Amino acid sequence: MMKRRAFITLLGGAAAAWPLAARAQQAEQMRRVGVLIAASEDDPDMRSRLAGFRQGLERLGWADGRNLRVDYVFAGGQPERFRPLARELIARKPDVLFAQTPPAVAAMQRETREIPIVFADVSDPVGPGFIASLARPGGNLTGVISFEASITGKWLAMLKEIAPGLARVALLGNPKTSSFDYYKQGAEATAPSLGIELVPNQVETAADIERAIDNLASRPIGGLALPPDSTTILHRDLIIALAAKHRLPAVYAFRAFVLAGGLMSYTIDYVERYRQAAAYVDRILRGANPAELPVEAPTKFETVVNLKTAKAMGLTVPPGLLVAADEVIE
């Protein structure tokens, strides 16, 4: 009798304890990621990148709503929104934060030095002090960079190739929303060897952009180079329209500009970069230390050329550029 009573008591205790253990395990498995995006929520290019981010997480076993909750906030190209949005995400106590663009990273880093932060759409994480080095970040940040500064040499060379008489190139960007000085230094190192006068233009508004492009067009044989920047993305259609109006050859850091009527781009596969950023989130969720995860630089690039735009501008695309193109829009 005693043995039977003891067995029933033990069984009852185990039955009572099991749901508690199961609930505790389920709660432990549900992890949280906070995502701060510089662009607007309805930006089609950003939607594609975030789809890549979600795909990357799903391939690694993380399903939003099952064992992961992902909170997204969007600054909509407004720099003043970064810090309050970073605070909002951190208040939700995420296991990992994901930041897109340097201002988003800076806002998150000001708010926390403990929660791991993975970044994307950042080219110079060392200059602003986000990390100690690419090989050994050393703090609570790591991630994937978009471009090294030398990429500007490729952009300028492409412009010179499609417009051999090119004399000057305006570099457009907003230091508040991009690594403008980083790209400017890279371009300054290359421009003289190509016989190009570099004209850096810091722009924050549509009026700034219009003024900069009109000024460039007032002098002969000019071109445009646009490094990655959420401000110029916000005014993409205006930039493309002004370049067409003044017949200014332009090279962009985003394929989306060329699809929308821009002349050409030399860029990375951003969707794939976001999948790779998801792999960093996965590793941190599984216990990796961001301080010891090397930052990854891109190794694959793609060239896109819009022949229709070239023809409208009276430009002949050289055979070498066409052969090198991964995508030609006719």
Burial state string for 227-238 with b = 16 or more CB within 10 A and e = fewer than 16: bbbbbbbbbbee
Mean pLDDT (the chain, rounded) = 91
| Residue 284 amino acid letter | I
Report strand pairing: 117-122 vs 168-173.
unpaired
The answer on pLDDT for 236 being more than 60 is yes
Distance CA 309, CA 313 (A): 6
Domain with CATH 3.40.50.2300 in the chain: 29-146+270-292, 151-267+301-329
Please state the rounded mean pLDDT for residues 266-270.
Answer: 95
pLDDT (tens digit per residue) in 56-84? 999 999 999 999 999 999 999 888 999 99
Superfamily of domain covering 151-267+301-329? Response regulator (3.40.50.2300)
- Which residues, including other chains, have CB under 8 Å from residue 198's CB and lie 6 or more apart? 168, 169, 171, 184, 187, 188, 191
Calpha distance 175→170 (Å, rounded): 15
Classify burial at 72, counting beta carbons within 10 Å of its beta carbon; exposed 0-12, middle 13-18, buried 19 or more.
middle
What single DSSP character describes residue 315? P
Give the span between the Cα atoms of 50 and 47, in whole angstroms. 5
Show Cβ contacts of residue 8 under 8 Å, excluding neighbours closer than 6 positions. none
Ranges 75-79, 115-119, 214-218, 239-243: which has the least confidence: 75-79
Does residue 159 surpass a pLDDT of 60?
A: yes
CATH fold of 29-146+270-292: Rossmann fold (3.40.50)
Output phi, psi for 153, to 5 deg: -60, -40
Neighbours of 183 (CB within 10 A): 26
Q: How far apart are CA 209 and CA 36, in angstroms?
A: 26
At 141, the pLDDT band (50, 70, 90 cuts) reads very high
**Is residue 15 predicted with pLDDT exceeding 70?**
no
Contact 230, 101 (CB under 8 A): yes
